[in-house]
Amino acid sequence: MEKPPSHPELLPGFITIQQHIIANQRRHSEATGEFSFLLSGITIATKVLASRVRKAGLVDVLGSTGCTNVQGETVQKLDRMANDLMMHCIGYRRSVAVLASEEVEGAVDLTETGRSGKYIVLFDPLDGSSNIDVNIPTGTIFSILIRPDPTEWEGQADIQAEVLQPGLKQVAAGYVLYSSATTFVYTTGDGVHQFVLDPEIGAYVLVSERLKMPDRKRVYSTNEANSLSYPAPVRQYLDWTKQPDSNYSSRYVGSFVADFHRILMQGGVFLYPPTAKSPQGKLRLMYEANPMAFLAEQAGGRAIDGSTRILEKKPRQLHERTALYIGSRQEVEIIEGFIEGKGAPKA
């Protein structure tokens, strides 16, 4: 793997996330180090989680808690552990004013404790958790925003409303994939960088910088069991992919982080359209679609909901769902062509 040229001041051999962020922050005169300390909360929480996931089946972390979360889903034991770890490790950082999790109804207002932090951190503590008992890769997804300028609020600031910012406002986003290796991928709007957890030294080590998603790859990723209730143009697209001269293949893990990571590295397109079961789409805008859309665009890809760029969507609720078409730019544009009634791309 080519050594990244942009950090001559760092020791050759390996670069950890903390070193990488601090080196990048040096380029921003206004940087205070708060951001790197915030991100260290996520790296600590996910390292602990990685060790638990790796021992699933050996220690009592499999199965459900018997409770149901705000999404109406059964809460897995590891869902709860992941949520508690993220809440604790990130919440410990005084620069964080608000925490919002897939597992918790409302945003958690930390300013009530008298702190005046500027960051809002949203996260899906364990994406794909329904796969954990069968040892299929899962992940943690995070999105970081800055509190809006208080002058924007007449009277009392409304923490719940402060969280509802379009994806374009994200200052950072990323995910951790718990699989054959534990991989940490993030962006601060200056390219997409990948780290792998070295269990021997307990550090995430840089393996590639400024990842570029291939522009075209004839691989689609969707739960086709739902396809009869997909919008007609999307069904036409899937029929077209099955034409002999279309040469498409299909891959679907059923864990969004795993499916997205494959697409980031090899290209392709992931689609979760509106369905009869999920008329708004299934994936959550604020802590699933927005962070992945930021990463996709930073890597040269594209992310839409069928008509609007995901990052431009104005959120109305914390847990709102969205239709999602994300991946290689040309693959998403082909689907857009079908949705706009232009049909199959000219050969």
Query: Using CB under 6 A as the criterion, which residues of the chain lie in contact with ligand FBP when the complex forms?
Result: 73, 102, 124, 127-130, 223, 254-256, 282
Q: How is 61-79 classified by DSSP, letter by letter?
A: --SEEEEE-TTSPEEEHHH
C-beta of 123: minimal distance to ligand FBP in Å? 10
Report the C-alpha gap between 30 and 94 in whole angstroms: 18
Of 15 and 289, which has the nearer Cβ to ligand FBP?
289
Among 151, 171, 142, 173, CA closest to 31: 171
C-beta of 122: minimal distance to ligand FBP in Å? 13
Of 73 and 190, which has the nearer Cβ to ligand FBP?
73
CB atoms within 10 A of CB 19: 18
Of 20 and 282, which has the nearer Cβ to ligand FBP?
282
Of 40 and 227, which has the nearer Cβ to ligand FBP?
227
Of 119 and 256, which has the nearer Cβ to ligand FBP?
256
Of 63 and 189, which has the nearer Cβ to ligand FBP?
63
Which residues are paired to 321 by β-bridges? 284
Q: What are phi and psi of 73, to 5 degrees?
A: -100, 155
Sequence-separated (6 or more) residues with CB below 8 Å from residue 73: 130
C-beta of 124: minimal distance to ligand FBP in Å? 5
Of 102 and 162, which has the nearer Cβ to ligand FBP?
102
Of 241 and 255, which has the nearer Cβ to ligand FBP?
255
Tokens 């897995």, residue?
A: 76
C-beta of 146: minimal distance to ligand FBP in Å? 25
Where are the strands (E) in 135-202, listed by range? 138-146, 172-178, 182-187, 192-198
C-beta of 221: minimal distance to ligand FBP in Å? 9
C-beta of 131: minimal distance to ligand FBP in Å? 7
List, in sequence order, the alpha helices (H) in the chain.
17-25, 34-54, 77-91, 159-162, 232-241, 256-266, 290-298, 329-339
C-beta of 253: minimal distance to ligand FBP in Å? 8
Q: What are phi and psi of 71, to 5 degrees?
A: -85, -5
C-beta of 345: minimal distance to ligand FBP in Å? 26
Q: What angle do CA 28, 303, 231 make, to 5 degrees?
A: 165
Question: Strand pairing of 219-221 and 269-272?
Answer: parallel
CA–CA distance from 299 to each of 165, 185, 265, 327 (Å)?
22, 11, 10, 10
